[in-house]
Amino acid sequence: MYAVVRLRGDVGLRPEIRDTLKMLRLHRINHCVLLPDDVHYLGMIKKVTNYVAWGEISLDSIVRLLQLRGRLKGGSRLTDEYLRDNTEFNSIEELSKSIYEEKVKITDIPGLKPVFRLHPPRKGHKGIKRSFKEGGELGYHGDAINELLKKMR
């Protein structure tokens, strides 16, 4: 399971990259999506790697994202009560485990928005013009994406 966070804006963007970002539901800066480990999604991520940060997300980070940033249609927060009433899951932790194991998608939950709107990172970005290997924030982070998501909670 990959977490993909958009870090750069639309100015001077090539149309094919803009379309790929739209297909990934990354319409604005600091939006995050969770994508399954799939060859097709991986190709799309690699195409926009100069505009996003991505890596393998941990179960704890999924739980934290759903608790703090999970939103329903209308803007209300995702709660355990909503999950008990509208799905077969009893808690956010149980839903997170199913998402992490790729048994269920976020879009399968009725009313849950598939995009997480994050804050800018605390203490700022290291730089959004250089790759992660060069000391910036762009591109593949591996497991370090969890630290970025924690900063952007």
Sorted by where each begins, the domain ranges of the chain are 2-58+116-151, 59-108
Alpha carbon distance 42, 30 (integer Å) = 20
Whole-model pTM: value is: 0.91
Q: Which two tokens stand for residue 45?
A: 């991520």
| Cα–Cα distances in angstroms (integers) from residue 134 to residues 127, 137, 140, 141, 147, in the given order | 10, 9, 11, 12, 17
What topology does CATH give the domain 59-108?
Answer: 3-methyladenine DNA Glycosylase II; Chain A, domain 3 (1.10.15)
Alpha carbon distance 96, 34 (integer Å) = 11
Q: Which two tokens stand for residue 94?
A: 């149980």
pLDDT category at 2 given cuts 50, 70, 90 is very high
Query: In this predicted model, what pLDDT tens digit does every residue of 112-143 receive, in sequence order?
Result: 999 999 999 998 888 888 888 888 899 999 99
Cβ–Cβ contacts within 10 Å for residue 104, how many?
16
Domain 2-58+116-151 has CATH 1.10.150.80: no
What average pLDDT score do residues 75-95 get? 93
